[in-house]
Amino acid sequence: MTQDSSPAAPILINAAFDAGNIEVLAVDGARATLAIRRDNQSEFAQWFHFRVSGVAGRELDLAITGLNTSAYPDGWPGYSACVSEDRQEWTRAASDFDRGRDGGTLHIRHRPEGDQVWFAYFAPYSLERHNDLVSEAAASPGVAHRVLGLTLDGRSIDCLTLGTGARQVWLYARQHPGETMAEWWMEGALEMLTDPADPHGRALRQACTFHIVPNCNPDGSARGHLRTNAVGVNLNREWHEPSTERSPEVLAIRNAMDETGVDFAIDVHGDEAIPAVFLAGFEGIPGLTPEQLAGYQRYRAILDRRTPDFQVRRGYPESRPGQGNLAMSTNQVAERFGAVAMTLEMPFKDNADLPDPVHGWSAERSKLLARDCLAALWEWLQTGPA
């Protein structure tokens, strides 16, 4: 039995899959009124991911409502939904946001060529792809895999270790699971570091030992959450006192860091509202040293010079001296280890300085940015204090 895709037949919308999230409020032919399901035991809501079937040749008219009370309502103006028919290439669908309609509505219009089409807040990164990424990297020469611990839903917290150098470098992503660009960045980083022909990868493996956690929050990823784990906890507010009951993911990662020490760290994220790539540092930590701050500022300047996809004009305000929140990973890691640590933010919208009207900010650009970040790390190692 096949679904009727005649002009009068109602479209079928489904999100019962890995990272799926949508609530169907009403369907009328090719029109639908939708809402985003909140993270479990949490008020956070922003991530959506769903499939629409029975759509061949039809002009879809989708309204995602109630967005004025979403986690980041300023993320909707200027945003266009991601769309794909093959789940390989994700482009942007025509979208506009109306604060005055049904509590804030993202209106999406799209005419697919085939019988089904997928929409998402950003190009999804499935747990299956995560498992493929970890397995392929772990099979590469010189790469070791270990499970740092288990999540509340019983999923593994995967860590890949490679390199023989004295510098201890930690790269970790998706504390906030809906920020899928972060794991696309990780894919680009691992491809570079495991490529025996890549000169930066080879040099960095000699200079550093890398500890890479591609997905810190697999429970939230599978559940279709924006920002929290299985019990509604924002992991990036747990780094001062993580617990087995609330945040075993952070506890496992921080314990592993205690074993190795940390010299340099990047916590990879995405930002809903700011249309730019930027870094956030640790200026407000109590134990800040001039050398530590200079190291961060020097890395930021190198990255700014290396890639036009990075900039230093837009970003978060710096914390006042001594006021840094040690429950956040970048501040905790910088304070705890004296490390040069940073939060890398990529946009859900696009890079306003270098826009791509077809794809917006994309999985591909996230992967390329990872290569620039690692090349900048190599230059940073060469030009800094011995």
Q: How far is residue 292's CA from residue 69's CA, in Å, rounded to a whole number? A: 39
Quickly tell me which residue has 């061949």 as its tokens: 56
Q: What single letter denotes the amino acid at residue 44?
A: F
Q: Which residues are catalytic?
A: 345
Cα–Cα distance measured from residue 179 to residue 237, given in angstroms and rounded to the nearest whole number: 16
Residues near 264 by Cβ (< 8 Å), separated by ≥ 6?
A: 167, 168, 169, 170, 208, 339, 340, 341, 377
Distances from the Cα of 85 to the Cα of 50, 114, 137, 207, 221, angstroms? 12, 7, 28, 43, 21
* 321 φ/ψ angles, rounded to the nearest 5 degrees: -55, 130
Helices assigned H by DSSP within 44-153: 127-138
What is the number of other CB atoms lying within 10 angstroms of the CB of residue 236?
23
Q: Which long-range contacts (CB under 8 A, 24 or more apart) does 193-200 make?
A: 193/162, 193/163, 193/374, 194/137, 194/140, 194/143, 194/162, 196/141, 200/371, 200/374, 200/375, 200/378
Query: Measuring CA to CA, which residue among 137, 134, 76 is closest to residue 107?
Result: 76
Residues 6 or more apart whose Cβ sits within 8 Å of residue 277: 309, 310, 311, 344, 345, 346, 347, 351, 369
The number of angstroms, rounded, from the C-alpha of 164 to the middle of its chain's C-alpha atoms is: 28
Q: How far apart are CA 270 and CA 223, in angstroms?
A: 18
Determine the Cα–Cα distance for residues 101 and 61; give it in Å rounded to an integer. 15
